[in-house]
Amino acid sequence: FSELVEEARLSARALLDYGESFFNPTIRLGVTGLSRAGKTVFITALIHGLVRGGRLPVFEALASGRIARAYLAPQPDDGVPRFAYESHLRALLAERRWPSSTVDISELRLVIEFQRGNGAERTLTLDIVDYPGEWLLDLPLLNKSYEEWARESLALSRSEPRAHLAAAWHAHLATLSAEGREDEPATLEAARLFTEYLRACRDDRFAMSLLPPGRFLMPGNLAGSPALTFAPLDLPAEGHATDGSLWAMMVRRYEAYKDIVVRPFFRDHFARLDRQIVLVDALAAFNAGPEALHDLEAALTGILDCFRVGRSSVLSALFRPRIDRILFAATKADHLHHTSHDRLEAVLRRAVNRAVARAESTGAEIDVVALAAVRATREALVARGRDKLPSLLGTPAAGESANGEIFDGNTEVATFPGELPADAEELFKGGAYRGLSSAAADGTDFRFLRFRPPLLEPDAGGEPALPHIRLDRALQFLIGDRLQ
């Protein structure tokens, strides 16, 4: 019954959205990616590019001068925080530091006044919805029982390198009996150790992607509530949860998590999106090695599965398919020389292709791009002995260090970026290949160096445009067709 109510709610919502969009053409664009993938920077740069007018040659409507004006408007959903565009932009432009990251959902509405190809004046409303990718990876839980989830999570945690990180949690787990009496202190401890294990997996050195439940790492206002206080148990092959058992308590809380966290997100946000960009910090995965890359591939498959979940219900099939374009974007491409940008794209395409094959009929158009929403480096040829090596110039953030040198945040240095292999397959095979190869002859390892945002000269017209890599291609794919 509750599923029917859910369906009815979804359909009513879809009708309302449809009605509004009929009179007032609107795209709801979802921007997601795991924590630190680059969502905040991407959205800030995208809005700035539209509102100020950036150098975006591939974004046809703007490049050909058909966009008369783009401006921010009050957002439609009163219960969702506004994306803090102004302060994020100030951080980038005036303070030359990266803005603070996404920890919750937020939204911003942009109105674009443009001229159609045939000369008619039109407006397109773009609602940008920014939400943590961790929430997206929770959607598959809707189709999973506690028992399925616990068995899968446990199996995953017993493979390397996860097993190593899970040692403390596993030791505690061994002291619990699923069929024993429910026990709050033991459950609190299990949830704490399980969450620590999840957090360790997300560490830079491991960069694991597949980690539901997402709210364990980003609890927000639910921190400490029972819906977030559960963990997988080692379940017997046979039997079921009896009243009053630890097992039954975990089942109850797992279901509460789905009711309180996952379903509302699906209904109020995810099911209403028209287009989606998924940002991926693929470089972090390369640096961590092949396991992280396989993990990323599994996470991307999981994400594409979510889009299928979105269209599997009978009633929503009555309405036009919602998400009709999905773009996977590898971010921070400015850490690589331009000769590697296509290779970065190829790796992501390879990771997604399998997912697309598995997810058969998502029905959506899918594309892949390697981009830098804000380009923090410049390319140059730097003399090394008799050779001139292609290198990147950038200003490492204050406190960053390489080769014993600690940077003050104001010194530009030349780095020799790692090269990606020409054959994407090599990265997935692992073994011989571990992370990016650093080309620095003296062994300096610049792979993890974080650069400050670029130093920009003020334009004659005021605010300078932000330099980027292929942001215009992303825009063209995501909204270009609606500005024809």
With binding defined as CB under 6 A, does residue 370 bind ligand GDP?
no
With binding defined as CB under 6 A, does residue 284 bind ligand GDP?
no
Taking CB under 6 A as the criterion, the residue among 28, 272, 332, 447 binding ligand GDP is: 332
Pick the piece of the chain touching ligand GDP (CB under 6 A) from 64-72, 97-105, 118-126, 238-246: 97-105
Q: How far is the CB of 31 from ligand GDP (least distance, A)?
A: 9
Taking CB under 6 A as the criterion, the residue among 14, 27, 29, 37 binding ligand GDP is: 37
Taking CB under 6 A as the criterion, the residue among 49, 59, 70, 102 binding ligand GDP is: 102
Task: Report the alpha-carbon distance of residue 6 to residue 437 in Å, rounded.
Answer: 50
Q: How far is the CB of 45 from ligand GDP (least distance, A)?
A: 7
Taking CB under 6 A as the criterion, the residue among 14, 27, 38, 359 binding ligand GDP is: 38
Q: How far is the CB of 23 from ligand GDP (least distance, A)?
A: 33
Pick the piece of the chain touching ligand GDP (CB under 6 A) from 96-104, 210-218, 302-310, 318-326: 96-104
Pick the piece of the chain touching ligand GDP (CB under 6 A) from 38-46, 146-154, 202-210, 319-327: 38-46
Taking CB under 6 A as the criterion, the residue among 28, 36, 322, 447 binding ligand GDP is: 36
Taking CB under 6 A as the criterion, the residue among 75, 187, 316, 331 binding ligand GDP is: 331
With binding defined as CB under 6 A, does residue 40 bind ligand GDP?
yes
Taking CB under 6 A as the criterion, the residue among 24, 87, 101, 145 binding ligand GDP is: 101
**Size of interface with ligand GDP, in residues (CB under 6 A):** 20
Pick the piece of the chain touching ligand GDP (CB under 6 A) from 30-38, 245-253, 320-328, 399-407: 30-38
Pick the piece of the chain touching ligand GDP (CB under 6 A) from 94-102, 240-248, 343-351, 475-483: 94-102
Give the binding site for ligand GDP (CB under 6 A): 33, 35-41, 98, 101-102, 331-332, 334, 372-374, 376, 450-451
